[in-house]
Amino acid sequence: MTTTLRSGHRITHALLIGIAVAMLGACSTTVVREPSASSSTRKPSQAKPGATVRVQRGDTLYGIAFRNGVDVNDLARWNGLAAPYTIYPGQSLKLFPGTGSSRPSAATGTPAPTRPATGTATRPPPAPVTRPAATPAPAASGFTWRWPADGHLIGRFVAGDATKQGVDIAGSSGQSVRAAADGVVVYSGAGLVGYGELIIIKHSEAWLSAYGHNRKRLVNEGQSIKAGQQIAEMGRSGASRDMLHFEIRHNGKPVDPLQYLPPR
């Protein structure tokens, strides 16, 4: 069977089927184009020796990395995954490098205790002087951040508190939620417990931003985004009131957004 095109060319039925199959295959994979690289150097994530996660239906590698506070590049390398990072429900992923346990090996022997020479007085060592730890300077991202929404700040970042890894901005249902910087959408869904309708944008190899509790998501995975572009409508999915939960993550770890957003 052949098909005649307007230009007069003839094409076989088998060739048409081949073209259709190729087009369907291309549609099954999300192509994520990398934004321009940041000037900051990416540092490896803090591994969790012995820890694993089980892939659930609807999970993406970016979502799993975000949920566990590690960089997606490290998570992919630890598990031998290459772009576009295809994973399957039921698959087990390691949160640490290597194949064996990282438990320290036992010492071959116990050293004998030392005894002071006869007649020599022993004095305990002086107690160390404890000084308050200095607050580390924030890492430079290499680009300018914008506020993702208008409204009052009702929640602040608290280091080490899993429930306060970003800031909360109060607003009204349907209010515009905007991208804080240029980037590519690497997650758009509702599969991360506690975030509701969530969008994650990758800005460089080291920097991500996250936008949670939306009423409606307006962008898809793989889509390039400009700073200030509307990406969602504010809502209360997974929250008790209309608000935006906003996070900035550097190498997979949450940092205080107020150290990067302009004063207002």
Mean pLDDT, the chain, as a whole number? 79
Lowest pLDDT segment from 64-73, 114-123, 211-220: 114-123
Which domains are seen in the chain, by residue range? Answer: 52-94 (3.10.350.10), 153-259 (2.70.70.10)
Six token digits for residue 79:
């598990």
Which of 16-25, 37-46, 72-81, 201-210 is predicted least confidently?
Answer: 16-25
Split at pLDDT 50, 70, 90, the class of 10 is: very low
Place of tokens 């602040």: 156
Q: 136 or 36: which carries more pLDDT confidence?
A: 136
Percentage of the chain with pLDDT > 90? 58
CB-CB contact of 201 with 153 (8 Å): no
Query: Is residue 21 over pLDDT 80?
Result: no
Dump pLDDT digits (tens) for 195-213.
999 999 999 999 999 999 9
Q: How far apart are CA 246 and CA 39, in angstroms?
A: 23
Residue 260 has pLDDT above 50, yes or no: yes
Q: Label residue 47 by pLDDT band (50, 70, 90).
A: confident
| Mean pLDDT computed over 60-78 | 91
Buried b (16+ CB within 10 A) or exposed e, 44-59: ebebeeeeebebeeeb
Residue 130 pLDDT level (bands cut at 50, 70, 90) = low
Strand partners for 169: 153, 244
Output phi, psi for 14, to 5 deg: -65, -40
pTM attached to this predicted model: 0.67
Residue 61 confidence (pLDDT): 92
5 band by pLDDT with thresholds 50, 70 and 90 = very low
pLDDT score recorded for residue 64: 93
pLDDT of residue 136: 67
Query: What is the arithmetic mean of pLDDT over 119-142?
Result: 64
Return the closest-CA partner of residue 181 out of 160, 219, 210, 153: 210
**Taking residues 59-65, what's their average pLDDT?**
91
